[in-house]
Amino acid sequence: MSETTVAEVFDEAPLVERARSGDTAAFSELVNRYERKIFRLAKHITQNDEDAEDVLQETFLKAYSHLESFQGHSKFYTWIVRIAVNEALMKLRKRKSSRTVSLDEPTDTGEDTMVREIAVWEENPEQKYSRDELREILDKAVESLKPAFRTVFVLRDIEELSTEETATALDISIPAVKSRLLRARLQLREKLTKFFRRKGDDVFAYL
Amino acid sequence: MLTCKDFLTELNDYLDESVDRELKVKLEQHVTECPNCFVVFDTTKKTIKIYKGIEPQVIPEDIHSRLMAALHKKMAAGKGYS
């Protein structure tokens, strides 16, 4: 997967340049290339299909209208991610204020960096499940994180933005990105342990 | 000597390979000596790897069509010239 990404970025500048000079087919090609990732990102942040579709459309419409302002210093993908994150956060805030239950309300009871489950995992635990099962397990785990942790995890570890890019996209500090990412990673590890632990081991095996 | 708490604090940077050499040596030593921290390190590493390995799903056809329709409408109107 990473090879493809490198190749895509490599030959992308001419395509972006064509899109910038008004070639609509070139822009459509960029849409085809990134719509899946943008939709996934939007769904992860908004957790709502309707909002995710709105975010998807707004992102590419805005990108098209503002293509002249894209300087080419960053990757095209990073640029549209930033647009998508803004749109998705706006949706999230709108929903939050129109509901009685705040999305910031902790669903877990604190203990963000607590390590409770210490069990060895299978060597390639993901192979125990079908693609669809695995996707569901992973999505559910991400969904259960608080929005503040979830957005950072999605940008850093799913969409693979750098710490700096994530900080810029979310308008938070680098230390905030780092501390939220650690909590998100540890919480996910904890949640996934029950699916991925090696059979026959128990919590006390190493104590 | 690193404590488990120190190890946890540095875990992120260690996983992202952004610690300096001196600290890296200390962290490596800690995982060889502390089975619990080794498990936390190993399973967190696997967590990240599994998430990174999952491809985004194909967008439902109707969502894709509506996106393209909205774009074509915008493109036909021209940007900023109309």
Give residue-wise pLDDT tens across range B26-71.
Answer: 999 999 999 999 999 999 999 999 999 888 889 999 999 999 999 9
Nearest to B52 among A24, A36, A160 (CB): A160
DSSP B23-68: HHHHHHHHHHH-HHHHHHHHHHHHHHHHHHHPPPPPPPHHHHHHHH
Chain B residue with minimal CA distance to A63? B71
Q: How far is B76 from chain A (nearest CA, A)?
A: 10
Please judge whether A121 and B44 are an interchain contact, meaning their C-beta atoms are less than 8 angstroms apart: no
Domain ranges of chain B: 4-77
Domain ranges of chain A: 2-97, 125-206
Q: How far is B44 from chain A (nearest CA, A)?
A: 5
* Residues A197, A199, A204, A207, CA torsion sign: negative
Q: What is the ipTM of this complex?
A: 0.88
How many residues does this entry show for chain B?
A: 82
Question: Options 1.10.10.60, 3.10.620.30, 1.10.1740.10, 3.20.20.10; which CATH number does A2-97 get?
Answer: 1.10.1740.10
Give residue-wise pLDDT tens across range A123-153.
Answer: 888 888 998 999 999 999 999 999 999 999 9
- Decide: A79 and A31 in contact? Cβ < 8 Å: no
Q: How far is A100 from chain B (nearest CA, A)?
A: 30
Same fold, A2-97 and A125-206: no
CATH number for region A125-206 = 1.10.10.10
Chain B residue with minimal CA distance to A52? B63
Of A90, A95, A158, the C-alpha closest to A149 is A158
Chain A residue with minimal CA distance to B13? A178
Give residue-wise pLDDT tens across range A148-173.
Answer: 999 999 999 999 999 999 998 888 99
Please judge whether A65 and B80 are an interchain contact, meaning their C-beta atoms are less than 8 angstroms apart: yes
| Dihedral angle of Cα A33, A38, A41, A46, to the nearest 10 degrees | -160
